Structure formats: C-alpha cells, structure tokens
Amino acid sequence: MKRRIPLTLTLVLGIVMMIQFFIPHQFSQDFKNTALEWLRVIGGFAFIIGLASFITHHYTKIKHKKEGWAYSPIALGALVVMAVVGLIGRSPNMNWIPVTVQGQQISVFTYLFSNFFTHMMIPLGATMFSVLAFYIASAAYRSFRAKSLVSILLLVAAFVIMLSIIFYNVLPLGDLGEWLLSVPNMAAKRGILLGASLGGIATSLKIILGIERGYLGGTR
C-alpha cells in the first residue's frame, strides 16, 4: 500500500498533466494552475525535510567528530544567521534601526542580508568556479592528446577558436571561428539537446508507468 498509492498518483497526475497540453480548454488551464500551486506547497514541505536533514547531518558530524566536522559549525551558524537576518529583514514590522544606503533608508537587517550575500556568497561562488578551472584545464589537456582522428579534430578546432578570439583583428581566422561555432558546434549542440530531451521523455514515461521506482526510496 505504501508504494501503490504513490505509484497510482504518479500515473494519474502524469497522464493528466501530459494530456492537458493538448486540450485547449479553460478547465485544463485551471487544473494546470492548481497543480502548480500544489507543487509549490509540496515543495515547501520538501524544503523543510531537506533543512531537517541538513541540520541532522551536521549535528551528527559534530557529535561523533567525523572527518571535516570543523566545517559543520560554520555551516549551521551561517544557516541560522542568514535565516534570522532574512526573515526579520523581510518583515514589514521590523523596520527599526534604519540605515541610509545610497540616499535610501532601509532596515539594518535588510542591509546585513544584502551584504552577506554580496560580499560572502558571491566571492565564495567565484572561488569555487576558479578552483574548477584547474580541473577543466586538466581535463582539456587529457582530451587534447592527439591519439585518434577525433582527438585531432577536437584539438584543431579548439586552437582555431582560441586564436580567432585572441587574435581577432590580427589573424584571418575570425570568419572560420564564427563558422565553427555557428555550424558544426550548433549542430552538435542540437543533437545533444535532442538526445537529452528524448532521454528525459523516456525517463518520465518509465516513472509514470511505474517501471522506474527509484524516487520511492527503493529499487523494487
């Protein structure tokens, strides 16, 4: 019964949501809007479950002093600070302690929330991307080894694109680089997107028909 009810709901709602795209009627549009509202509500509960899992995970790491546990207090502290500052700053009754920013008076909590995000979250994200650049460079080096015809074509195309961008007004490679980006690259990109779309459709049908049951938390 625990599996039959979710499978039945998935089957019925999946088929109905799929059919409503092909029925130009107000009822189908209203049903779609109602389903999307319910999706937001269920997503909110899922967010609460994820938050509880996040807190439990880091609390367990701190309690048993697992590897990397020293980062868990920082994560939990940042969660509490951002939640408190964000919730209080968005409350219309909490506009006390105003600060003037660029000629406008805003709550100090709104100011702190904006500064935490701008001066901490964005630099940390930029740092993560800069670290990923080294892994991308390493992967590119391994991929550009001319061991086969495909590797040679990839190597030549990459060098042509780089040279056409760096020496755009010096070497006569601008048109060739634009052609590579707009014709072969676009064709390959569309093929990848088409394959990914077909894979998504196949996975959706497997979920709707009950063949794929991984989302239920088991393999059967």
pLDDT digits (tens, 9 = 90+) for 71-128: 999 999 989 988 888 777 666 665 566 666 666 666 777 777 778 878 888 888 888 8
Does position 219 have pLDDT exceeding 60, yes or no? no
Whether residue 53 is found in the same domain as residue 110: no
Among 123, 142, 161, the domain boundary falls at 142
109 closest CA partner among 124, 125, 120, 93 = 93
Task: Tell me the two tokens of residue 178.
Answer: 């634009």
pLDDT at 49 (0 to 100): 92
Does position 170 have pLDDT exceeding 70, yes or no? no
Highest mean pLDDT among 105-109, 134-138, 152-156, 193-197: 193-197
129: domain range? 70-142
pLDDT at 56 (0 to 100): 95
Whether residue 58 is found in the same domain as residue 116: no
Highest mean pLDDT among 43-47, 130-134, 215-219: 43-47
Among 113, 142, 171, the domain boundary falls at 142
Is 137 part of a structural domain of the chain?
yes
With a pLDDT cut of 70, the percent of the chain lying above it is 85
Q: Cα(153)–Cα(144) distance, rounded to whole angstroms?
A: 9
Residue 172 is classified by DSSP as T
Please compute the mean of the pLDDT values over residues 56-77 and round it to a whole number. 92
Task: Tell me the two tokens of residue 194.
Answer: 């088409």
Is 218 part of a structural domain of the chain?
no
pLDDT at 26 (0 to 100): 86
Is 131 part of a structural domain of the chain?
yes
Whether residue 75 is found in the same domain as residue 63: no
Is 25 part of a structural domain of the chain?
yes
Q: Cα(143)–Cα(9) distance, rounded to whole angstroms?
A: 46
Q: Taking the model in full, what pTM does it have?
A: 0.58
